[in-house]
Structure 1
C-alpha cells in the first residue's frame, strides 16, 4: 500500500448521522452494508468507545491467540490483523481502507474491532451469540485522549479548541455519539449477551489480573512464563515502540505524529493537566446527572 506524503493537503473528514449518531461521511454511505454484515459464530468482537484502550486490548487478545508468539503478532499492522468493522476511507486515493471488505475476506476465526454503540452493532453478532470484549475508560481521560487524536488525525473532523471539544463531548456531538450512552449501553447489554466488560484503569493497575479474565473468557490457558512475556510486550512502553501497533507505518499524511503521537501517554489521570478548576466543576455536575441511572462506576485516578 502506498503512503501519502505529508506534502499533500488532506481535507478534514465531513460528518453525517446514522440514527442520531455522528459518523464520518464514508461510514454513513456504507451503513447499509455494515448493518447487514454477516458474523460467524466464532468471531470475536472487540468493542470500545474511541480512544479507550482499543489498540491495547487488540494487542493483548492477539498475543493470547498467538500463544505469546511475538513474531506472529508482528506479521501485520493492528488494523490489518483486526478489521475495523465500520471504518472506511475511500476519499484518499493513496490510502483506501474498508474494514468490511477486509473482514469478509478473512478466514475464521476472526477478531473484529468496532466503536459502535451497542444499539448499532449489526444484529448478526447477537444472532450468532458471538463473544465480545468491551473496554471502557473514564470519561475525563477518554476526552483528553480523543481531543489529541482529533488534532493529529485528518480523517476525523477538526476538534476546535479544547473548550469547544469538551462541550461537544459533553453533549455527545462527537463521532460514535455520547460517551455516556456508549458505556452505559454496553454495561446493560453485558447481562444478556456474552460480553466481558473491562476497565482501562483496572488494566493499568493490575494487568495480570485483567489478562487472566480475558484468558478465562476466551477459554485459553497460558503458562506463567508466556503470560509474563505477554505482559512485557503489551506494556505501553513496548507498544509505543512497536511499528505494528503504533500507527506509524501507514496513514502518513493522515495521522501527524508530530502534532501528537498516536500512543501518547497511556496513563490514568492525565486529565488533570487539561481541565481548569471551572471546567472540572462543570464537567462533574454534568457527569453526575448523566450517570445517575447506572450502577457503572469509573476511577478518575489511580
Structure 2
C-alpha cells in the first residue's frame, strides 16, 4: 500500500495542494527582507515557524484562532501571490531544495535538518493522519518505509533535499541548524536565530522575559495544546499533528533490516559532504 499524491511536474504533492499554487510559489521573486524557513517535511518546521513568529512579535505566542501557515505561509502550498500580499518583512516556509527555492542574496534562509530515522517515522504519522491529502490511514510503517527509502514521498528524496542545502551550510545568508541541537539546547537555538535575523532581534531577547516567554510557548508541552494553530483539523482517532517531538523514537518502529538499509543509504548519499558528520550513526543503529 502506498500513499496517494498529486503528480505534478515530477513532484509528488499532497492531494489538495493546488498545482497552480505550487507553480506560483516557485515563480515567487525573493525580496531582500524575506526570511525563508526551509526544511524537509517533519524536521521541526512548525516549531521554527513559531519561534520566528514570537521573535518578531516581542515574545507573544501565536493566538488561538490564528493559523501559523497564514502568518508564516507555506510558499508552494499557498502560492507566490499570497506571499506578495503580506507586509514586509516576510517570513516564508518552504520544503524546496536549494536550487528551487527563490533566491535573493540579501534574503535569509534558516535550514533545519533532522536525522532521517526520526524524520521517516514522523512523516509516516503525518501521512496517515491527513486522509484527504494521502488516503493512507490504513498504511503500515513497513509500507511507508519502502516509499521513504526510495524517495517516493511528497517533496521527494530526503537526501536530495539535505545534500542540496548542506553545500550552502556556511553561506553568509544561511543559518544551518539540526533538530537535535534545537532539542538539546532550545535557548541557544533561539539566540542563534535572533543573531541571524539582526540586531533588532538581539535587543529583544536581551529582555529575559521575552526570551523565557519564547522558550515556554515554543516548548513541546505548550505547542501540543490548541493544535488548530498549526494545522487543519484531523480525525479524533488519528495521532495529533504535534505528536511526540522526540529524538530516537524511530527505535520503536524500525526493524534491524530497515535501520541497516537507511544507514547504508545515509553513508552512500552523504559521502564526502558535511552531512556525513551531522549525526553519529552508531548511536542511531
Structure 1: gaps (5+ residues): 1-11, 88-97
Q: CA RMSD in A?
A: 2.2
TM normalised by structure 2 equals: 0.87
- The question of whether the paired residues in 2 share the 8 Å contact of 1:45 and 1:131 is answered with yes
Structure richer in helix, relative to its length: 2
Give the 3 Å change call, closer, same or farther, for CA 33–137 of structure 1 in structure 2. same
Query: CA shift at 1:210, angstroms?
Result: 1.1
After superposing the two structures, state which structure 1 stretch, 113-122 or 50-59, moved more: 113-122
- Aligned counterpart, 2:6: 15
Is 1:293 paired with 2:284?
no
- Aligned counterpart, 1:66: 57
- Aligned counterpart, 1:129: 106
TM normalised by structure 1 equals: 0.82
Query: CA shift at 1:243, angstroms?
Result: 3.8
Name the SS of the counterpart of 2:38 in structure 1. Answer: strand
- The question of whether the paired residues in 1 share the 8 Å contact of 2:24 and 2:81 is answered with no
Q: Give the number of aligned pairs.
A: 271
Query: CA shift at 1:262, angstroms?
Result: 0.4
Is 1:195 paired with 2:174?
yes
Aligned match of 2:68 in 78, 97, 116? 78
Aligned match of 1:225 in 209, 233, 237? 209
Equivalent-residue separation in structure 2 for 1:280 and 1:32 (angstroms): 36
Equivalent-residue separation in structure 1 for 2:145 and 2:164 (angstroms): 21
Query: CA shift at 1:193, angstroms?
Result: 5.2
Query: CA shift at 1:244, angstroms?
Result: 5.1
> Which whole-Å deviations, capped at 9, do the CAs of 1:8-60 have from their partners, x for residues lacking one?
xxxx8532143x44324645444432222122211111111111110000111
- The question of whether the paired residues in 2 share the 8 Å contact of 1:47 and 1:133 is answered with yes
Is 1:42 paired with 2:22?
no
Give the 3 Å change call, closer, same or farther, for CA 242–267 of structure 1 in structure 2. same
Equivalent-residue separation in structure 1 for 2:24 and 2:79 (angstroms): 11
Name the SS of the counterpart of 2:76 in structure 1. Answer: coil
> Which whole-Å deviations, capped at 9, do the CAs of 1:99-153 have from their partners, x for residues lacking one?
434312211111111111112113xxx2353101111111000000000000001
Name the SS of the counterpart of 1:156 in structure 2. Answer: helix
Name the SS of the counterpart of 1:60 in structure 2. Answer: helix
